[in-house]
Amino acid sequence: MGRGIDLNYDYVVESHPAVLDGFIGLAREKFAELEKEMAEPFISQYYVVNDAYGVNAEREYQYFPDLDSALTAYAMLPNHLEKEIGMESTEQPPTRMSLIKCRNGLETLEDVEAASLSGKWVNTESREALRMAEIYLDNHDTEIAYRLESLGRYFTIQTVSDGYDYTFYDNQFRELDGGVYDNPDATLAEAMEDILGNEGLSVADCKVMNFEELQEKANEAEQEKNRKPLTAESVTDLKGKSHEYYAGDREAVYEFDCLVDGRPAVLTYTTGQREHFYSPLYDRGEIEDVFSIHTDGEDIWDRMPQAELEKLERLLAGEAEAFSIEERIAEAGSIYDLKEIDYYMMDMERTAMTKVQRKRIWDGLDRKGTAILQKAIDNAGNGEGIQSVRELLTEAQGILYEEQYTNLNEVIRKRETELAAAKAMPLISDMTEPENP
């Protein structure tokens, strides 16, 4: 109360409308600001850059109002470029945040929470954009080519319905091997690590290159191969694997590992005899020698002219003989086993083996004979043992090269000297003076 006036009453009655209007005005302004913030998006546009560092191509940016258009443009860029797609803010000046980065052919989703140091990119709009980018990575098709730096070879991988299709090429872009990695749940990086790991390689050994350029070179190599017929000389590095004889069919079948035009292959050589009964070209009962030569993959029987096949057959006939003898050498357990092989070689009236193949047999006899004799020398523990080794060396004289025979003779002499010296050395007990009583 003041001078008969109730000030509180007067304030309430007379000042309340103005105060209320003031509070309402402030509230309206605050709500207007909030509505403005909610209405104005944080992301103004999306960008796509073809090569983030301008190393493989001149750097160019494209801008899009929506993410779908940006992802479409991003997908059209090849993976050998360090391409990138991201977001640009409405701030002034604007800031950027990437969504997907492609490095060395492999695409990865950006960790926005870790990359946004201020935290401003961690918002609803960014999370939605990130979700759409992840869906894109999980469903889009990819094809990538690499150069295997340490081997000078090439490797491609691409998505297919049931996983990843991959191919290895040699340094001339000729196909070596390939297949399908049938695990669609694995990421591209995981599939590559698994595939390359089986070859003793890793993603670190790969340098990304233009997929279309590699495919073009591979197609050219394939066309060149098809244009150029194979010759007998195209088959190299023959190594026997197995052989079987089928008495009922009068056929012997040999398998060899080899290189055909520089590429690994398994060659099957079948030789036998065909008896003619009703052919107008042969006398009744006449026997004809026949053969066939086939390889896995692209069959050389279809790619090699008849004259070259006959030339190759002569080489394979010698290889087949040599392989059979080399197996006997490998199984031999004594000098006498090797001598039987030596006699067999000398008794052969005719052979398909070339001088090089026959030399390989003599080399094998010499090596195996040396190994058997060396073991006998090491096991000789006395004079009788040395005498037995000398007798073995005499037996082996016909299968060893002269130089090796001389060397082994010297080894035996040294061993005999060592044993004699060991025998002559007094025992420790003999060299110890007796104790005084």
Closest CA to 377 of 330, 331, 409, 425: 409
8 A C-beta contact, residue 52 and residue 83: yes
Residues 396 and 401: their CA atoms lie apart, in Å, by: 10
Closest CA to 176 of 204, 197, 150, 148: 148
Beta-carbon contacts of residue 269 (< 8 Å; ≥ 6 apart):
253, 254, 255, 256, 291, 292, 293, 313, 316, 319, 320
Angle (CA) 74 80 84, round 5°: 35
Residues 46 and 76: their CA atoms lie apart, in Å, by: 16
Q: What pLDDT does 398 receive?
A: 87
Beta-carbon contacts of residue 378 (< 8 Å; ≥ 6 apart):
none
What SS3 state is found at 133? helix
Partners of 292 in beta bridges: 270
Amino acid at 15: S
Q: What pLDDT does 314 receive?
A: 93
Q: Can you list the pairs that 2-6 forms with residues at least 24 positions away whose Cβ atoms lie under 8 Å?
A: none
8 A C-beta contact, residue 370 and residue 404: yes
- Return the structure tokens found at 29: 């302004």
Q: Which helix (H) or strand (E) is 86 found in, with range?
A: strand 84-89
Residues 103 and 250: their CA atoms lie apart, in Å, by: 61
Q: What pLDDT does 11 receive?
A: 43
Domain-wise residue ranges, the chain? 1-37, 43-139, 143-227, 230-317, 332-437
pTM: 0.50
Residues 337 and 326: their CA atoms lie apart, in Å, by: 13
> For each successive 10 residues of the chain (437 residues), what is the average pLDDT?
48 51 65 59 94 85 95 94 94 94 94 92 94 93 92 93 93 90 91 92 92 93 79 93 87 94 91 63 59 88 90 94 94 94 88 92 95 92 89 91 93 88 66 54
Closest CA to 109 of 131, 81, 142: 131
Q: What pLDDT does 40 receive?
A: 79
Q: Which residue has the tokens 């690590």?
A: 193
Radius of gyration of the chain (CA): 42
pLDDT tens digit string along 103-155? 999 999 999 999 999 999 999 999 999 999 999 999 889 999 999 988 889 99
Q: What pLDDT does 96 receive?
A: 94
8 A C-beta contact, residue 389 and residue 413: no
pLDDT tens digit string along 316-360? 999 999 999 999 999 999 999 999 999 998 888 789 899 999 999
Main-chain phi, psi angles of 266, to 5 degrees: -110, 120
CA atoms within 13 A on the CB side of 386: 15
